[in-house]
Amino acid sequence: MNTSLFELFKIGIGPSSSHTVGPMRAALRFVRELDAMSGRLSQTARLRAELYGSLAFTGIGHGTDRAVLLGLSGEAPDTIDPETIDATLEQIRSSQILSVGGTHRIAFTESTDLIFHRDQMYPPGSEAATSHPNGLRFTALAVEGQVVFEQIFYSVGGGFILSASELAPNPEEKSVSPRKVPYSFSSAAELLSVAERSGLTIAELILANECALLEAEEANQDLKPISRPLLSGGNGIGVKARVEESILALWGTMQSCMERGIATQGILPGGLNVRRRAPRLHERIQALDHSGKPRDPLAPLDWVSLYAIAVNEENAAGGRVVTAPTNGAAGVIPAIAHYYMRFIDTEKSDDDKRDSLIRFFLTAAAIGILYKENASISGAEVGCQGEVGVACSMAAGGLVAALNGTNAQIEHAAEIAMEHNLGMTCDPIGGLVQIPCIERNAMGAVKAVNACRMAMHETEGHKLSLDQVIETMYRTGMDMQSRYKETSQAGLALNIIEC
């Protein structure tokens, strides 16, 4: 295990974790590394940003250009105020001045300094076998045009970024040591085995690991900090309580996103003229609930769809969301969490439901870590099976945990959920995270409920393991043609007339 819950679930802005959050973080990291090199920032007279592969093909629709400008300006996706974004971008574009890192002003002409290489899949000099189709190259130039500093990054899904050396390290170099946690695992089978030997649920195991990561971070200031919604110390509560409160803070952000999505009317940006449907759907569902007619036994699934749609409409509008594990799949996890809190175990006390909710997120994180470390959560690499499919798998296992299911049932539910998302392409119309992405989250959430129920009704095990399905998902993604992987060159993106 080398990934934290708070790296899978992180606060950012829409519409895409790989095309918005990742590039913004890459641009910000480049600026910070440039600033850390004595005198290099002051020598910089010009900055050039170049986008390749999927970032070039769908970057405009995904807001990659906006993200790069904001990151170069010193903004971070988890702290930026979405309400200030348009004004900041307008200032840069109208003045043709970029304040690098918020301090060093240089001339910046977007048409020549931010380049979309739609004819190149990977940055020059990188090999396809050791690259990712979301490549960025940043170059700082002096007055005479000489290179001051240059760096290649890859946005590898879920807002995670790697430099070229991190993605394909030299075999002779010492590899990065895995984080030290009390319960390490590298597969679902190992996770189940470690949990059984330790007498722990999966949620308890992940909680212990997160506590260890927080303690290590506080004891060693040299460690790269994990961004959490709450500050690590100074609030007078123990490590376990701080981890749990940080999880609940993420949940609070998800709730706020869903509420904004339900309350906001209008047309989504981007040119497809997609009308937000969550407010109208909410009105209709509420009217049916209060109509006095016999209750439809499947009515809770309408609410599941509403929750997912509301979150992803807010994401499509560039609002604040939580990657779960990506922005394009951000609606599935909160939809199932809302479903549990509203419709399941309704007789439980608030404290008990709080504990169940924390189990849900801890367990979902364990499953997400398996996909992140053994396959991919990038639509540009493996298609939407790596985004909505993974979110569905995480949510299904998390829901079993909230319902006090066994570790084996959790693994089974996660396996069922992914098994029936295998092969799902990523073909957004117009390069926008709208069609089919918004509805796809609702469908993924409903599948998660069904996978949970199927697993908890089963008593005699199952033939396929979660590890086998994860490997199958990754191999399927590698076999999938690139035009079906977030390039908007095939599928719905090609065969539907934009209107």
Is 63 a residue whose pLDDT tops 50? yes
Give the pLDDT of residue 211. Answer: 96
Tokens of 428: 């957004």
Is 199 a residue whose pLDDT tops 60? yes
- How confident is the prediction for the chain on average, in pLDDT? 93
Averaged pLDDT for residues 397-419? 98
Averaged pLDDT for residues 242-270? 97
Q: Distance between CA atoms of 132 and 155, rounded to whole angstroms? A: 8
Averaged pLDDT for residues 328-333? 98
Quick one: which H or E segment has residue 51?
A: strand 46-52
Identity of the amino acid at 380: A
**Where does the pLDDT of residue 497 fall: very low under 50, low under 70, confident under 90, or very high at 90 and above?**
low
Give the pLDDT of residue 27. Answer: 98
Beta strands in 226-363 (DSSP E): 320-323
Residue-wise pLDDT for 20-53, tens only, equals 999 999 999 999 999 999 889 999 999 999 999 9
Residue-wise pLDDT for 106-128, tens only, equals 999 999 999 999 999 999 877 76
Is 172 a residue whose pLDDT tops 60? no
**Where does the pLDDT of residue 222 fall: very low under 50, low under 70, confident under 90, or very high at 90 and above?**
low
Is 173 a residue whose pLDDT tops 60? no
Is 146 a residue whose pLDDT tops 50? yes
Q: Is the pTM of this model over 0.75?
A: yes
Terminal CA-to-CA distance of the chain, rounded, Å? Answer: 46
Averaged pLDDT for residues 160-178? 71
Give the pLDDT of residue 8. Answer: 96
Cβ–Cβ < 8 Å for 278, 262 = yes
Is 226 a residue whose pLDDT tops 90? no
Q: What percent of the chain has pLDDT over 90?
A: 85
Tokens of 275: 């009308």
Measured CA distances, 35 to 105, 148, 153, 223, 273 (Å): 13, 11, 17, 20, 42
The rounded Cα 54 to chain-centroid distance in angstroms is 16
Report the half-sphere exposure of 186 (CA within 13 A, side-chain side). 2
**Where does the pLDDT of residue 289 fall: very low under 50, low under 70, confident under 90, or very high at 90 and above?**
confident
Q: Distance between CA atoms of 424 and 234, rounded to whole angstroms? A: 45
Averaged pLDDT for residues 396-415? 98
The fold for domain 19-155 equals 60s Ribosomal Protein L30; Chain: A; (3.30.1330)
Averaged pLDDT for residues 351-366? 97
Name the residue ranges covered by the structural domains of the chain. Answer: 19-155, 188-480
Q: Which of 72, 484, 82 is nearest to 264 (CA)?
A: 82
